[in-house]
Structure formats: structure tokens, C-alpha cells
Structure 1
Amino acid sequence: MTSTPAPRPQGRYQAAARHREIAISAGMTPREDGVLAGTGAITADLTDAQVQRLFEIACGNALAAINGVCSPDEHIESVLQMVVYVKYEHHGRSLPAVADFGVRALETMLQTPFTGVRTTVGVESLPGDAPLEVQVTAVVAP
């Protein structure tokens, strides 16, 4: 488990919920200390490094939320599903290619290959004009 605190929900819901060994995060935007690290659509103006950083923040928030429903002796064993919402304007980069940045972020943070399923959805708007949002479902184990 990490010591990163779970992000504070932006409304009337929990940051994560759990049933037995399955834990799911709420949708997580790339917020650091409650402030979005970027706003607007994922466009060609953003570099790969900028997009990667946004996903690292959002995925880190999702994992922190899940870790927040774990006991001290538990950890995230694997990710079953990742849902990616991208505020999107067509610019030649495919939505699945954009979402791959999220997979890379999870693999780096968990230090294991991503073996779960992924859904990617292009949307017109996200909370606070966030550029992306991720939701993670994971298996928790001792």
C-alpha cells in the first residue's frame, strides 16, 4: 500500500468502495491537492509527456482511493478493469492510443503488466473541464 491519501470526492459519494476482495474507485480526474493539473480537451497541442503526466496523476488518485479501503496488510494484487473518459477533439490521435497512457501509468505504479480489460470513451465534457477521468476496479489481497 502507498501512504498517499485518497483524494477528496467532489460531491456526495465515496472515493472508493469495496466488496470482499474487489475494490472500485470513483472516477478520478488529474487533481493534485484538489486542483486540476490541466483543463480542456486532449488535443494535438499536448505532448505525449503532458498526456502521460495527466494520466499518472489521475491513476495515482484512483489507486490511492482503492488503497484507502484496504487494511494496512493488504495491497492491490491486480487491476481487473480500467474505464477511461477522454475530453476529446479529433486530431489524428486515436482514443485507444490516448488511453494507452493510462495503462502505462498503472503498469509503472503497480510494477506489473496490465492484464485487465479497458473501456475508452470520448466525451464532450468532464467535471471541472478536466481533460480525462479514470475509474479502476481492482483485486485486493494480503
Structure 2
Amino acid sequence: MSTPEERVAELGLTLPEVVPPLAAYVPAVRTGNLVYTSGQVPMVEGKIKATGKVGAEISLEEGAELARICALNAIAALKSNVGELSQVARIVKVVVFVASTPDFTQQPAVGNGASELLAEVFGEAGKHARSAVGVASLPLDAPVEVELIAEVR
């Protein structure tokens, strides 16, 4: 069985550097056997990948891909806290915020981009409870933001 880090590589991905906080917070906090990540926007190499609202400038498919990038950034924040991703016993909860037009109602489909990546990386332990909600705006005009809670060993 391959490690989560090996599965990231098998997917053709690289864990990025942890996105520096945009304000007064830290990327991840551990309390007991839970790690909470701060919300992660779709930053790639220090720049926001796309801006705008899903349902206007951003398509549902683009939104799902951006959610995948957010989840990869959340995995990096998680790893920075626990050292090795094999320490993750389970992804417990994921929250996906989608900056969307008032008539857009496919937030769960956007969130699938994040959820599917977590299942690919962590297998059964990556299957989680989730909320996907529409919001008026997000930091940096990001279309998507993802946070997660993980149980660790």
C-alpha cells in the first residue's frame, strides 16, 4: 500500500509550500487528535489561480478544479502540522465555500473537486462529512475556499 505522499505523486501532483496566512492566523492547529486547517484558497506558486464568481466568470468545472487546488493546499497545511500524511487516521469534515452568483445552486458539485482529491490521496480514510455553501465573496476574490478537520494518530 502506498503512502498518501506517494499517491499525491502518482496523481502527477506535488504538495506545494504551505500558503502563508493572509491575516492573523496559522495554517493549521492541532488539538488532541484533531487538526483543523485554516481556509485555503486556490493559490498556486504564490498567486491566486483564478478570481470571480462561480456561475459568472468561473464555470462549475473550473470551480471544481479550483476546489481541488484548495484541497491540495489544505493537505500541505495538514502535513506541515503532522510531519507525515500517514499520521492521518481520517479526514473527518470538509467545508467548501463557493463565491457564486445568487442563482447558482451547484455548490456541492464544486465541492466534489476537493472531496474526490481527498479520497484519491487518503483512500477510505479520505471519505468525510462535508458542507458546501454559497457565499457573496471570499478573500482575494477567490471563487472557492476549502477547510478541513482531520483525525490524526
TMscore range, shorter length: 0.7 to 0.9
Match of 1:40 in 2: 52
User: Are 1:107 and 2:119 counterparts?
Assistant: yes
Match of 1:5 in 2: 17
Answer 1 or 2: higher relative contact order, Cα 8 Å, separation at least 6: 1
Match of 2:78 in 1: 66
Q: What's the CA shift for 1:119?
A: 1.2
Match of 2:145 in 1: 133
Q: How many residues align?
A: 140
Q: What's the CA shift for 1:74?
A: 4.9
User: If each structure's helix is expressed as a fraction of its own residues, which one has the higher value?
Assistant: 2
TM-score by length of 1: 0.85
Give 1:42's aligned amino acid: V
In the alignment, structure 1 segments of 5+ residues that lack a partner are none
Q: 1:37 to 1:73 in 2, by over 3 A?
A: closer
Give 1:46's aligned amino acid: S
Q: Give the distance between the partners of 1:11 and 1:107, measured in 2 at CA.
A: 30
Q: Give the distance between the partners of 1:60 and 1:140, measured in 2 at CA.
A: 18
CA RMSD of aligned residues (A): 2.2
Q: 1:92 to 1:80 in 2, by over 3 A?
A: same
Asked if 2 retains the 8 angstrom alpha-carbon contact of 1:6 and 1:67, the reply is no
Question: Equivalent pairs: percent with the same residue?
Answer: 26
Q: What's the CA shift for 1:91?
A: 5.4
Q: 1:26 to 1:59 in 2, by over 3 A?
A: same
In the alignment, structure 2 segments of 5+ residues that lack a partner are 6-14
Q: Give the distance between the partners of 1:140 and 1:92, measured in 2 at CA.
A: 35
**Structure 1 segments of 4+ aligned residues over 6 angstroms from their partners:** none
Asked if 1 retains the 8 angstrom alpha-carbon contact of 2:55 and 2:104, the reply is no
String of CA shifts for 1:29-64, please: whole Å, max 9, x gaps. Answer: 00012211110011265262x233212210011111
Asked if 2 retains the 8 angstrom alpha-carbon contact of 1:15 and 1:26, the reply is yes
3-state DSSP of counterpart to 1:84: strand
TM-score by length of 2: 0.80
3-state DSSP of counterpart to 1:112: helix
String of CA shifts for 1:83-134, please: whole Å, max 9, x gaps. Answer: 1100011556522222222211211232336432111110010000000101
User: Are 1:120 and 2:121 counterparts?
Assistant: no
Q: Give the distance between the partners of 1:107 and 1:73, measured in 2 at CA.
A: 13
